[in-house]
Amino acid sequence: MMTDHDIEARLREALRVVAEATALDETTLPLVWEPARRRWRPVVVVAVAFVASLVAVGAVALIPAGNTEPAPPASPGIDPDLRFPVLPSIPGVTEAWGDYSVPGENAHRQELAVGTEVEGGFVDAIQVTVWPEYNLAFALEGDTVRIGDSEGVAVMSPPGEPPWVTLSWTVGDLWFLAHDPRGRLDLVVEVAEALLVDPAAGFSDAVVVGGLPVDLALLYPPTFIEPRPQPYVDAVADNAGAPAVQIAVSDAPSALALATRFESGEEVVVRGKPGYLMMRDGSLTIAWEELPGTVVSMTGPPGGRLAELLAVAEAVEFVDEATWQSIYDSDGPRPIPTTFVPPPTRAPNTTRAGP
């Protein structure tokens, strides 16, 4: 007689054996491109993990809300003016954790987006990111595509899946990645051919947009992204799998810049400020500029409603790093300090901008 325990044991063993038999293509592991010459320093987007440092320091000040101890100063490298988000009490949400990454000095890049402008927003955005040089840790495999006089690699969605395409190419040392969530390879190639490089300019000014394909507008011009810490908080409901809400401070220079990382965006008002509403995988995301230079995004659960998301956004507080660290534990979920943030004292603003 086979028991449930027997089945579980057999399954564990089978999975272990098959996993160990998995062939790993080691040749793709060390393929970090090494250019013959470096015009700019290699760009590597750097984040810094909390966990190891928690152990190393061993003195994390997780001060309960309302504690009167003086707050510790900001961590090294953190702009003391940077504001950190604190979520309010959310019905059904029992746990939350926060963390943030600290980018390295050479995490610079440029971003731009093209697409179709519509009343109250944009649709069909194609996003382009440019780095000073190729920094992917593996060689891309895909179809070879002609881009003007050079070649690129197109990685496309598998047959039967919703179409998307990512096109990779280099001009000199510059490395370009263009992504179209709609999978229009021919159009992406035309966009790629419209991007010109001024070799005499420094990296932050090197990319110029030439003649775009008909019906495509420049939604967001080439913009140098200054890396910055991006704190986030995940709140998890005890009766739902996916995070109920995630809020994050972005390194995007504007709400529109953040919105164009999605396929389409619709103008909304968030906390009385102009922002954008986007959707991905059935979840709504709103983005707004809380303060000059502080662009925030908030994503709800799959199937969530805009009014609920805006209501949560209304009650978000922004605090300094030390206070934030006293609330959220980067090492895992912890109960939300429901007494820290008072309930909203004003009605949520659920008004959409535009007509």
Footprint (CB under 8 A) of another protein, residues 233-252? 234, 236, 239-243, 246, 248, 250-252
The CA radius of gyration of the chain, in Å to the nearest whole number, is: 23
Query: Shortest distance, CB of residue 349 to another protein, whole angstroms?
Result: 25
Q: Which of 14, 208, 217, 291 binds another protein (CB under 8 A)?
A: 14
Query: Shortest distance, CB of residue 45 to another protein, whole angstroms?
Result: 5
- Going by the DSSP 8-state scheme, the letter that residue 241 receives in this structure is S
Q: Could you write out the DSSP letters of every residue in 268-314?
A: EEETTEEEEEEEETTEEEEEEEEETTEEEEEE--TT--HHHHHHHHH
Q: By CB under 8 A, is residue 83 in contact with another protein?
A: no
Q: How many CA atoms lie within 13 A of 274 on its CB side?
A: 12
Which of 222, 206, 229, 203 shows the shortest CA–CA distance to 104? 229
Q: By CB under 8 A, is residue 38 in contact with another protein?
A: no
User: Which positions from 185 through 224 interact with another protein, judged by CB under 8 A?
Assistant: none
Gap between the Cα atoms of 100 and 48, Å rounded? 8
Gap between the Cα atoms of 206 and 39, Å rounded? 12
Q: Which is nearer to another protein, 14 or 217 (CB)?
A: 14
Say how many residues touch another protein, by CB under 8 A: 92
Query: Shortest distance, CB of residue 175 to another protein, whole angstroms?
Result: 11
Q: How many CA atoms lie within 13 A of 83 on its CB side?
A: 16
Q: By CB under 8 A, is residue 54 in contact with another protein?
A: yes
Q: Which of 8, 117, 205, 215 binds another protein (CB under 8 A)?
A: 8
Determine the interface stretch with another protein among 182-190, 225-233, 310-318, 337-345 (rule: CB under 8 A): 225-233
Q: Which is nearer to another protein, 57 or 347 (CB)?
A: 57
Q: Which is nearer to another protein, 221 or 346 (CB)?
A: 221
Determine the interface stretch with another protein among 72-80, 185-193, 265-273, 310-318 (rule: CB under 8 A): 72-80
Query: Shortest distance, CB of residue 274 to another protein, whole angstroms?
Result: 20
Q: Which is nearer to another protein, 250 or 254 (CB)?
A: 250
Which of 138, 139, 152 shows the shortest CA–CA distance to 192? 152
User: Which positions from 291 through 330 interact with another protein, judged by CB under 8 A?
Assistant: 297, 302, 322, 325, 330
User: Which positions from 153 through 192 interact with another protein, judged by CB under 8 A?
Assistant: 155, 158-161, 166, 177, 179
Burial label, 252 (beta-carbon count in 10 A; 0-12, 13-18, 19+): buried
Query: Shortest distance, CB of residue 339 to another protein, whole angstroms?
Result: 23
Gap between the Cα atoms of 213 and 116, Å rounded? 11
The one-letter amino acid at 236? V
Residue in the structure block whose two tokens are 């003016």: 81
- Are residues 204 and 110 in contact, defined by beta-carbon separation less than 8 angstroms? yes
Q: Which of 102, 154, 277, 310 binds another protein (CB under 8 A)?
A: 102
Gap between the Cα atoms of 183 and 164, Å rounded? 4
- Start-to-end C-alpha separation, the chain: 69
Which of 83, 65, 90, 66 shows the shortest CA–CA distance to 313? 90
Query: Shortest distance, CB of residue 119 to another protein, whole angstroms?
Result: 26
Residue in the structure block whose two tokens are 């709103």: 286
Query: Shortest distance, CB of residue 2 to another protein, whole angstroms?
Result: 6
Q: Which of 121, 222, 227, 253 binds another protein (CB under 8 A)?
A: 227
Per-residue mark of binding to another protein, 257-296 (x: CB under 8 A):
-x--x-------------------x---------------
Q: Which of 82, 87, 93, 109 binds another protein (CB under 8 A)?
A: 109
User: Which positions from 110 through 149 interact with another protein, judged by CB under 8 A?
Assistant: 111, 127, 129, 135-138, 140-141
